[in-house]
Structure 1
């Protein structure tokens, strides 16, 4: 299609439009495009925030006395020992509170889903910061959680 690009500001300069007019259809297309852009932005922001939360969790779970982990096997052991079972206490408490014969609560279902999703992600390949590099761990500990600085850190491949 050729011609001039139709934007919301160029259409708002004019008065109201008839519901079946060409201008009304143009305004509907503009609104639909804006909704798609906002939805994709929300998905992108949610993924970035989840990545930031995961990295912050790894740094908080790493003991202060350790400057780094010695090798990749210890990194896997760290993930299996500290990261994956971090919700086990909450899960046991919710399961204890559940009355027999009743369906599970929404919180219990969501927690089980989250635990299974993290276990599946670990088995398929989870993106974790390089905790085997002392410089990287030092940078991560000084990091305040800004998503713009994620490119400064190393991630094993």
Structure 2
């Protein structure tokens, strides 16, 4: 596979293959999962021109790769946050005798989650000397809290605590991503007036 392209015309050899390049690496980064496209270009044993078909093909393949990676990162971050909220609520109900919970109690758990760093934010604010900027930690926590406040307005996916059997499943859950699928989830927001009857997938 071509791993570097010179700004000047030169030859790159690998076995019997010789490719002459006239483009720079900054214009066309290659990724590891572009093997198929790269091999097709290499097998042609020709030149890569900046306006050529093969060059544009590599550009499109690289762009697709970057979009897939970005989408995967966003999806994983969302799942991680949802899993963290489910763990937070599980810890809230562990050790309690309640067979089920009301909507207000469930919303109270979510509110505790959203403002879980409020104490630390207040402490950092008091420790900040007059005229000094906020610490990176305080800025990070405030940004996170503001983001989660907005999410609460639009809706969080949470375990359905109105169902006794589901509460038992939540308490017995071992915290793994595989086990969480057995727990029924619903979507509630700050202004919800009832717990939805339909299930809500954590991947949504």
**8 A contact 2:99–2:167 mirrored in 1:** yes
Range with bigger deviation, 10-19 or 49-58? 10-19
**8 A contact 1:91–1:111 mirrored in 2:** yes
Range with bigger deviation, 109-118 or 65-74? 65-74
- RMSD between superposed Cα atoms in Å: 2.4
| Residue 42 of structure 2 is aligned to residue 50 of structure 1 | no
Structure 1 or 2: larger helix share? Answer: 1
TM-score normalised over the length of structure 2: 0.62
| Residue 119 of structure 2 is aligned to residue 89 of structure 1 | yes
Tell me the residue number matched to 1:3.
Answer: none
SS at match of 1:147: coil
Shift of 1:41: 1.3
Structure 1 or 2: larger strand share? Answer: 2
TM-score normalised over the length of structure 1: 0.78
Q: Distance in 1 between matches of 2:84 and 2:110?
A: 15
Shift of 1:61: 2.8
Q: Which runs of 5+ in 1 are unaligned?
A: 1-6
Shift of 1:47: 1.2
Q: Distance in 2 between matches of 1:16 and 1:48?
A: 45
Q: Which runs of 5+ in 2 are unaligned?
A: 1-35, 187-195, 197-204
**8 A contact 1:129–1:154 mirrored in 2:** yes
Shift of 1:117: 2.3
SS at match of 2:117: helix
Q: Distance in 1 between matches of 2:45 and 2:177?
A: 43
Larger Rg: 2
User: 2:160 pairs with 130, 151, 155, which one?
Assistant: 130
**8 A contact 1:67–1:138 mirrored in 2:** no
Higher RCO, 1 or 2 (CA under 8 Å, sep at least 6)? 1
**8 A contact 2:169–2:183 mirrored in 1:** yes
Q: How many residues align?
A: 150
User: 1:10 pairs with 31, 35, 40, which one?
Assistant: 40
Within 5 Å, give how 1:3-152 maps onto structure 2.
7-8=36-37, 9-15=39-45, 17-20=47-50, 21-80=52-111, 82-152=112-182
